[in-house]
């Protein structure tokens, strides 16, 4: 009897997971269509010139502090706090935090950034600095969905 209940529970969990996946795929498709309608098709950008990788910035902070860099990677996390946000970007060599603010990007670009999903690939242009807590970060002047 327990084996039958266990098998039924597994089937129900698989159905829920599949349903959630289908919903997530539909949401992503709708977001893509909206971006394309707005002329912001991420599939059009086929080249993004990266000049630095995350590990280079972290390993040589003194050399990079205050300098402009261009990085790209997968959006791993995002913490939105009103007019400013922090996100974590992972490239092939590591990861780094980025500070993104409405004042630096402008209202439209900041609203676009807030709609990005975890897992999206983004390019960030900005300067290297340390936060108040001492974390090496990139202060974004521009964020591009790739």
Which letter does DSSP use for residue 28 in this model?
Answer: H
Q: What is the pLDDT along the chain (146 residues), one digit of tens a residue?
A: 455 555 555 554 556 577 776 787 777 778 778 777 877 777 776 678 999 999 999 999 999 999 999 999 999 999 999 899 999 999 999 999 999 999 999 999 999 999 899 999 999 999 999 999 999 999 999 999 98
Contact 146, 49 (CB under 8 A): no
Both 31 and 65 in one domain: the answer is no
Any domain includes 7: yes
pLDDT at 75: 96
User: Beta strands 136-145 and 94-101: pairing type?
Assistant: parallel
pLDDT at 143: 96
Both 35 and 81 in one domain: the answer is no
Domain with 129 in it: 54-145
Contact 113, 141 (CB under 8 A): no
Both 68 and 15 in one domain: the answer is no
pTM of the entire structure? 0.75
Any domain includes 49: no
Both 37 and 109 in one domain: the answer is no
Both 85 and 114 in one domain: the answer is yes
Both 76 and 10 in one domain: the answer is no
Any domain includes 47: no
Both 36 and 58 in one domain: the answer is no
pLDDT at 28: 75
Both 93 and 26 in one domain: the answer is no
Any domain includes 131: yes
Any domain includes 48: no
pLDDT at 13: 56
Number of structural domains found in the chain: 2
Any domain includes 46: no
The alpha carbons of the chain give a radius of gyration, in whole angstroms, of 19
Whichever domain contains 86, its CATH number is 2.40.50.140
pLDDT at 15: 61
Both 71 and 128 in one domain: the answer is yes
């Amino acid at each position: 009897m327990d084996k039958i209940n266990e098998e039924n529970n597994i089937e129900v969990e698989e159905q829920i997971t599949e349903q959630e996946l289908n919903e997530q795929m539909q949401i992503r498709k709708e977001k893509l269509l909206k971006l394309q309608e707005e002329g912001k098709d991420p599939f059009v950008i086929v080249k993004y010139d990266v000049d630095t990788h995350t590990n280079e910035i972290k390993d040589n902070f003194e050399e990079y502090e205050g300098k402009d860099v261009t990085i790209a990677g997968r959006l791993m996390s995002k913490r939105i706090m009103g007019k400013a946000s922090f996100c974590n970007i992972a490239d092939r060599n590591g990861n780094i935090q980025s500070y993104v603010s409405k004042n630096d990007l402008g209202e439209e670009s900041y609203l676009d950034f807030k709609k990005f999903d975890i897992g999206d690939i983004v390019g960030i242009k900005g300067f290297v600095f340390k936060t108040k807590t001492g974390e090496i970060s990139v202060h974004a002047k521009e964020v591009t969905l790739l």
